[in-house]
Amino acid sequence: MSSNKNILLYGAIAIVVVVAVFIAIVATVQPNGPYSINVSMTPVNYNHNATYLFNNTKFNITISNTGSSYVRGMRVGFYLDDQAINYYNVSIPPHKTAYINENYTYSRNGTYNFSVVADPSRILDIANSSVTSAQVSINVSNPQQPNIYSYIPSNNTNETYTFTLFPRGMEFSSLLAVSYNISTFKPFLGPDRGISLAIMHDLSPLLNVGNGVYSKYTNGSVAYGLWLEGTLSNSDIKSILSTYSFSERPFTVGNSNAVFAKLNYTTSFCSYSSKGWTKIFFYYNATEGATCQSMLANKYANTEYALLSNATALHKNEYQKVDNFTYANSTDEGFGISLIGKNYSVYSLSENSRAGNFGSILSFHPSINISSFNSVCPGFIYLNNSTGLNMCTQYYRAPAVELQNYSLSHSIAVSQNYTLQLYSFVSQNNSNVALFNAGMLFGRLNVTNAYASWRPLENSTCSFSNASIGCEYKSFASGNYTIRIKNDYNTSITLNRFGCSAYLPFNATTEINATIAPGKSINESFRCLEPSVPIASTVSTYFLNMSYGIAGKSLYTNGTLTYANFYAN
């Protein structure tokens, strides 16, 4: 009985202690109300007449404790159209204020209703709940239709490019231009290789889309314009200018504040924001006269834009990509079109997470004599007999150490009126994917006239280690090499087997079964074995292996076949 009384006594003491601790905690964390809370919200960079898609608005939120009680752990919600974006827990001493900063980037046009609410669950005893919330409505407009030639002079133009690029496309284009010396691809952004390229690359994380135009004139002057859409601002442009130590001065374009910088004696830079775009212009004046500021004071006819649009419509079927490419689920990263004399070109960029990025070029040029095309192929020859496609592919090893596990392949096919090219930047494991993707792309484009074949120049060489057996390169056609084998012995020799490979080891497996009399020659055709996965360096030397017999004795000799660059014919 005594034991039971002790248990009851200890239990009562424990209950009293728990209740006391609970009361102490409540008294400390949750003091008695009522509280006095005031909430306000200000969009600090909001212009109700000029907020566009992909602009960013910064909201300054203040929560003031105007009462005499300490507010601890109060929840504050930030909402868009009554859907919570963020929650915060704030503690505010009496007569003090807490501050919250929110940023929002708009992905669609229309009206956005933002609100901030203190104590949304109504847990606290707040004296006047009508001032514990604040609302702001933001009207977002679609940006101006890009009209990138409107400030670019249209008279006496002899070369022009225009392009649209998305962020990954911008990064890829600048990577190609900086890391590889490939003159064929550089026109994607126009021949300009100065600060404009650096700006496109540096700002790409802030951009949704970039439009550009490049025009060159008969007197040597050059105009270059960028229309960039995204979260960037004039302060971002000024920051980049300061990086390159260019001084600036303000001016105005219409109702917009603009920035002017002189880059050198002949080249000027201008930038301003208007109607959803950050607009950047470079002007190189060969006569040291006009600047981009004087250029922006005028409006110009869209002559070049009309020409490019018409050319695009005329050749729509030829450059439309189709389904079932080896690069599954590729997404467009941008495109470009150019006009140089009568030569019209279409460029496109796509990106795929598994096989990398690629850029394709389809050029339409006046009818040409293929034999005078003056293009050589120091790489692999791909032939598809069913489509008649004859394609050259060359692989480049990345010069940058951090890109050593990647390679860039360049495939090109030539026909009477078209030049098709594909650049693929892929991991080494996908090099063969890049090769066959190029063949699939070219084969599916609606190019009706026949492809040119790639043939090696006539200074290719062939030799055997046995000096008594001569070897002379003769021709290459449809993937087969032909060499002339000469017998310099004073007795007949029999040829048994022959082998040709781009890599070692290999065996002489092709049956020949021919006899060559002393001092005589015969021609033999064969196909060389290629690597199953294309390598990053060009293969121009093949290893030969031949078994032969003299007076019933079996002998072997090795050799090499080195071919010169191929040309379109």
Give CA separation, 488 vs 470, 491, 517, 545, 548, in Å. Answer: 7, 8, 9, 18, 14
**Beta partners for 164?**
211, 335
DSSP string, 146-175: P-TTTTS--TTEEEEEEEEE-HHHHHHHHH
Question: Which whole number is the average pLDDT over 58-64?
Answer: 95
H helix or E strand, kind and range, residue 236:
helix 234-243
Per the model's pLDDT, the better-predicted residue between 442 and 533 turns out to be 442
Q: Has residue 539 got a pLDDT over 70? A: no
Specify whether the CB–CB gap between 296 and 253 falls below 8 A.
yes
Q: Can you read off the two tokens belonging to residue 514?
A: 């021919």
**Predicted local confidence at residue 84, as pLDDT:** 94
* CATH code matching the domain that covers 37-140, chosen among 2.60.40.10, 2.40.50.140, 3.40.1010.20, 1.10.1240.10: 2.60.40.10
Residues 216 and 65: their CA atoms lie apart, in Å, by: 63
Question: Cβ(357)–Cβ(548) under 8 Å?
Answer: no
pLDDT value for 112: 95
Domain at 455-568: CATH code = 2.60.40
What's the chain's length in residues?
Answer: 569
Given this model, what pLDDT does residue 194 score? 60
Q: Of 305, 313, 420, 347, which is closest to residue 189 (Cα–Cα)?
A: 347
Which pLDDT value is given to residue 8?
A: 37
One-letter amino acid at 102 equals: E
Distance CA 220, CA 195 (A): 19
Residue with tokens 């809370």: 37
Other residues' Cβ atoms within 10 Å of the Cβ of residue 348: 22
Q: Report the percentage of the chain scoring pLDDT > 70.
A: 77
Q: Which has more pLDDT, 531 or 338? A: 338
pLDDT score for 90: 94
**Residue among 233, 243, 236, 211 at smallest CA distance from 224:** 211
Can you tell me the mean pLDDT for 345-363? 75
Q: In whole angstroms, what is the distance from residue 155 CA to residue 300 CA?
A: 9
> Is 391:381 a contact under the CB 8 Å cutoff?
yes
Which residues are registered as beta bridge partners of 60?
Answer: 42, 101
Helices (H) and strands (E) in the chain, counts: 8, 32
CB contact set of 342 (below 8 Å; sequence gap of 6+): 365, 366
Q: What percent of the chain has pLDDT over 90?
A: 24
Kindly tell me if the per-residue pLDDT of 21 is higher than 80. no
Mean of pLDDT values over 22-45: 68
Q: Which fold has domain 315-452?
A: Protein Transport Mog1p; Chain A (3.40.1000)
Is the Cβ–Cβ distance between 347 and 359 less than 8 Å?
Answer: yes
Q: What Cα–Cα distance (Å) separates residue 569 from each residue in 328, 369, 395, 490, 495?
A: 33, 9, 22, 41, 33
135-159 pLDDT, tens digit each: 999 999 999 888 888 888 888 888 8
pLDDT in tens, 398-456: 666 666 677 788 888 888 778 888 888 777 777 777 778 888 888 777 676 678 877 66
516 Cβ contact partners less than 8 Å away, ≥ 6 residues apart: 485, 486, 487, 492, 493, 494, 495, 522
pLDDT at 534: 46
Quick one: pLDDT at residue 3? 42
Looking up tokens 């992909």 gives: 54
Of 16 and 388, the one with more pLDDT: 388
Concatenated DSSP letters of 15-71? HHHHHHHHHHHHHHHS----B-EEEEEEETT--TTS-BTT-EEEEEEEEEE-SSS-E
DSSP 259-321: EEEE-SSSEEEEEEEETTEEEEEEEE-TTS---HHHHTTS----HHHHHHHHHHHHTHHHH--
* Averaged pLDDT score across all residues of the chain: 79
Q: How large is the average pLDDT for residues 352-372?
A: 73
* Contacts for 251 with CB less than 8 Å, ≥ 6 apart: 258, 259, 260, 293
